[in-house]
Amino acid sequence: MREQLEQQQSWIYLAFIALGLCLGLLAPEPMAAFEQALWPLLGLLLFATFTQIPLLQIKQGLQDTRFIAALLIGNFVVIPALLGVLVVWIPLPLPVLAGVLLVLLMPCTDWFITFTHLGQGDAARAIAATPLLLLVQMVALPAYLWLLLGSEWLQLTLSPTLLSAFLSLIVLPLLLAWLTERAAQRSATIERATRALGWMPVPLLACVLLIIAATQVTQVLTLRQLLGHAVLIFIGFLIVAALLGKALGHLFQLPPTSTRTLVFSFGTRNSFVMLPIALTLPNGWQAAVVIIVCQSLVELLGMVAYLRWVPKRLIPSKDTKKADAHGK
C-alpha cells in the first residue's frame, strides 16, 4: 500500500498544485490564512522524512568506495561546475537564479530511494549513501551559493530570519530524527512509530505544495514567461544528469544497478528541503519559491520518464543486451 502511494506521488502532487492554484485564484483571502500552517507542516515533513534515512549507518554506506566516489564527484563537483557554466551563459534575474541554484545544487535524500527502487537501481546502496549525501550538502550548499551568487547572497544568509529557519526547520528535525533512530534501537514501540512516520511524507508534501500554490499564485502569473525558461533548464538538467550518471558508472566500472542509482541521484534534487530557506527570503526574492515548486513538478514527471528510459534503454542489464542481440 505504501509503495503504491509512492508510485503515484507525481500525480498526487500535480493534482494538489492544480487545486492550490485554483483555490488561490477563487478565494485568495481565505487561503492566505492557511499560510500560517506552512511552517509546522514543513517541520513535521522534514522530521518524518529524516526518520526514514538511516542516519546511524553512515559507516556502512562507505564500504563501496568506487560507488561513493562516483556519487560524490557527480553531485558535488561536476553538477555544481555545470551550474556555474549555466550562471555565466544564461542571464536570469537574481531571484530566479537563486531558486534554480537552490534546487539544483544539492541531491535529493528522500524520493531518490523510491525511484531508484522502482527504476531497477540498487536501493540498498541508495539507502546507505543517503545520510552521507545529506551531511555533505549541509556543508557544501552555503559555499556554492556564495561562489555562484556573490556577496549579496552572503548578506541574505547571515540574516537572523534565514538562520532561524535553517536551525528550526532543518537542523532541529535532523537532530530529532537522529535521536529517534537511536531510541528506536532500544524500544519496539518507537520503532513501530518510526515506521508509521514513513506514510507521512507524501500527504504532508502534498499539503505543503497546495498551500504554496494557493498563496503564490500571483507570483506564478507574474513569472509565467520566466517559468517557461526555467522548465527548459530543468528538462535539460534531467537529460544531462542521466548521461552524467551513465558516464561516471562506465568510468568507475560500476554494475548496471549501481549506475542506475547514480542516474537517479543526479536527476533528483533536494527541492522541499530548500523550501524553508526560500520562504524566508525578502519580498524581492520570493520568485525562488515558485521556481523550486516548478522544478519539483518537472522532476517528478521526469522521474516517470526515467523509470521507462533508464533501465530499458539508457542502462539495460547485460541479460537484456544479450536478449536484444539474439532477437536481431
Task: Tell me the DSSP string of 29-90.
Answer: HHHHHGGGGHHHHHHHHHHHHHHTS-GGGHHHHTS-HHHHHHHHHIIIIIHHHHHHHHHHHS
Element (H, E) at 313: none
2-315: which CATH topology? Na+/H+ antiporter like fold (1.20.1530)
Domain chopping of the chain, boundaries = 2-315
Task: Tell me the DSSP string of 76-122.
Answer: IIIHHHHHHHHHHHS---HHHHHHHHHHHSSB-SSHHHHHHHHTTS-
| Amino acid identity for residue 216 in this structure | Q
Q: How far apart are CA 162 and CA 275, in angstroms?
A: 11
Report yes or no: 106 and 270 within 8 Å, Cβ to Cβ.
yes
Report yes or no: 132 and 62 within 8 Å, Cβ to Cβ.
yes
| Number of neighbours of residue 140 by Cβ within 10 angstroms | 17
- Supply the DSSP symbol for 269: B
pLDDT on residue 16: 93
Instruction: Report how far apart, in Å, the C-alpha atoms of 22 and of each of 29, 41, 123, 216, 275 are.
Output: 13, 21, 37, 11, 21
Report yes or no: 15 and 171 within 8 Å, Cβ to Cβ.
no
The low-confidence residues of the chain, meaning pLDDT below 50, are 323-326, 328
Q: How far apart are CA 328 and CA 326, in angstroms?
A: 5
What are the beta bridge partners of residue 107? 269
Cell numbers that stand for 239 in this block: 537529460
Among residues 104, 96, 103, the alpha carbon closest in space to that of 227 is found at 96
Q: How far apart are CA 146 and CA 105, in angstroms?
A: 12
pLDDT on residue 328: 47
pLDDT on residue 323: 44
pLDDT on residue 321: 53
